[in-house]
Amino acid sequence: MLEWLDSRLTESQRQLPPGEFWRYRVLLGATTLMMVLAGLYVLGIPTFAPEERLPQILVVGVCMAAFGAVMALTRRLPSPTLPSLLLCLGLFVGFVLGTLPVDASGAVSHAVGMLIPALSVYLLGPRRGFFFTALLMLYVGLFHQLYHSGFGQVRPVFHHPGIWLGNLVSCVSLLMSWALSWLYGTVREESQAALQQALKTLRESEGKLLSVLESTEDVVVALDREGRVVTANMMAKAVGRHLYGRDLERGAHLEWMASPGLQEMFQKALRGKRERVEMSVPAPGRPLTLDVTFNPVWEGERVVGATLFSRDITERKEAEARLAELHRGLVDVSRHAGMAEIATGVLHNVGNTLNSVNVSAHLVVERLRTSRAAGLDKAVELLRENASRLGAFLEEDPRGRQFPAYLAALSGQLAQERESVLEELRRLTESVDHIKSVVSMQQQHARFSGVMERVEVPTLLDDAMRLNAVSFERLGIQLRREYTASSSAVMVDRHKLLQILVNLLSNARHALVESQRPDKQLTLRVEEAGARLRIAVADNGVGIAPEILQRLFSQGFTTKKDGHGFGLHISALSAEELGGSLQCESEGPGTGATFILELPLA
């Protein structure tokens, strides 16, 4: 039936919104049914009295003409309003002409009369529908009985009160039919508007979702419980063409699912679990590495399928491999850089100590060169010349009489010179011992490079301090140690940890020198922090600005004129390799800085 009705509409009418499209359908359907009803009515005309047959034929003819006009105008006019008016008018006229001759109870209560309010409200709206309903109510409730009473001339107007009452009930029924049709139409329109808004929102959401799915470089495929493709984005189709030479068709089984691993993941997803794996897929040219994820699709409490997300991570994996190789190179470079840093410290301290050795040696030489002991040669010569008369020389010769006093004075001076030379020689010996200690310590730590061992951090921290002791003392840096940890042993590469500590102490020394403060202070703390050991190197130097603090450990970043931006970056990497972390805290310029190294306790 609907197909037949649609065939009577034009193509443009069939493309109208659902509300207008259905109005055309109802208009044609009602007209067709009325024509069928009129045809059936014609079959009953012979049962009428001879004098009534012609009026009935006239009624049917008028109605059929109106209905035919409706059918013709519906296809030709751009709006259904005029055909709808003509249909309702034809029904009203046909109802009046058909019931007017009948003077009997219930003559105007025909079922066709109830169609007019309902049909007019649906096709024309509540206002125009009320117009036809009001006309029909006037006819049913007033004009029909007035006509048969001859307007009071043939018989009293209310000669049949029962008929009047029945007609009044019919009027109320007609009004109720209009009201219910109006109420239904209002609810239907509101529901239709809500439905259209929901559909619009759904279409917009679907459009956005489709846009997101199509704009992503990831493969997205929705599968039903049998592993058949429900939908796939363009990237999935492109990958399908690349791997298998054809598109992913809806309803086809995904060929990737032939892999036992993926099939197992798919089955787990159907059981409500999210699965993820990295897999290698053979492809023309080179294998692809894919990051594949299966997510269950729920419908209420039931899993109805799964969504496959896949991303090509081949380039990322290759980049990670290159990065790992670069990291290994950085580790080697850091080891050499750390060794160079320590060697620089060793040379710096040895150089400063050699300066002290040189000064002490020059002082000893100068004091020996200017020693009063040289005057003994003259005294010995006088004694040798007067050896035969030594007594008389000492008692009678003016020079001899001065000899005892001279010897006494010379003895005192020689004693002072002896003490001075011994003091310088002691300092010289200490400097040589310090050089031996520094070189020995460097050799000891270098022997254990790359070996994980149990290390007492305070001892190693003191060793790192000794590498900078001379320069710290010369610069007037006050050192304070706060070793409060009850357990301070860690399992680390001794040489690598020493590199970190030497670098932190070197940075602290530079910060203190740049601050030009008279009260330069360096604090070393070793304390427990749960299962980790916290080593803090705090100075009251120039401090660090917040914007610099964020980039402090970046490779190549430095604030020193002659810096290379390598030390702190390598120290942070080394700390991570030791299972720890390195961070810095500073409240800003002029407030000093604290570098915190945390390592797991042994």
What pairing do the DSSP bridges indicate for beta strands 478-483 and 521-529? parallel
Please, are residues 463 and 441 in contact by the beta-carbon 8 Å criterion? yes
* Reported confidence tier of residue 327, pLDDT bands at 50, 70, 90: low
Identify any residues that bridge with 585 across adjacent strands, giving them in sequence order: 594
Closest CA to 460 of 535, 402, 396: 535
Taken in order 121, 124, 126, 129, the sign of the CA dihedral is: negative
Helix, strand, coil percentages (3-state) for the chain, rounded to 5, are 65, 15, 20
- Do 362 and 491 share a structural domain? no
pLDDT number for residue 192: 79
Within 139-160, residue ranges assigned H as helices are 144-148
Instruction: Note the Cα 459 to chain centre separation in Å.
Output: 45
339 domain residue, yes or no: no
Q: Inter-axis angle of helices 126-138 and 81-99, to 10 degrees? A: 10
- Do 389 and 299 share a structural domain? no
Please, are residues 467 and 342 in contact by the beta-carbon 8 Å criterion? yes
154 domain residue, yes or no: yes
- Do 492 and 398 share a structural domain? no
In the numeric block, which tokens belong to residue 374?
């040289």
422 domain residue, yes or no: yes
| SS3 readout for 43-57 | HCHHHCCHHHHHHHH
Which range is most confident: 110-114, 381-385, 531-535, 544-548?
Answer: 531-535
- pLDDT per residue over 457-475, tens digit each? 998 898 888 777 777 888 8
240 domain residue, yes or no: yes
Rounded Cα distance, 63 and 93, in Å: 8
Name residue 156's amino acid. Answer: P
What pairing do the DSSP bridges indicate for beta strands 581-585 and 521-529? unpaired
Which residue is it, tokens 């001279």? 406
267 domain residue, yes or no: yes
Percentage of the chain lying above the pLDDT 70 cut? 85
Furthest C-alpha separation in the chain? 203
Identify any residues that bridge with 493 across adjacent strands, giving them in sequence order: 452
Does pLDDT of 486 surpass 60? yes
For the chain, the average pLDDT equals: 80
Final residue of a structural domain among 196, 231, 266? 196
- Do 239 and 191 share a structural domain? no
In the numeric block, which tokens belong to residue 578?
């030791």
Rounded Cα distance, 470 and 361, in Å: 19
- pLDDT per residue over 166-219, tens digit each? 888 889 988 999 999 899 888 888 887 888 888 888 888 877 877 777 777 788
Domain that holds residue 48: 2-196
- Do 302 and 176 share a structural domain? no
- Do 115 and 53 share a structural domain? yes
Name residue 595's amino acid. Answer: F
- Do 121 and 72 share a structural domain? yes
Does pLDDT of 435 surpass 70? no
Final residue of a structural domain among 439, 463, 487? 439
Q: What is the number of structural domains in the chain?
A: 4
Name residue 399's amino acid. Answer: R
Final residue of a structural domain among 439, 460, 490? 439
Closest CA to 48 of 60, 37, 57: 57
* Secondary structure (DSSP) of 291-341: EEEEEEEEETTEEEEEEEEEEE-HHHHHHHHHHHHHHHHHHHHHHHHHHHH
Helix (H) or strand (E) holding 546: helix 546-549
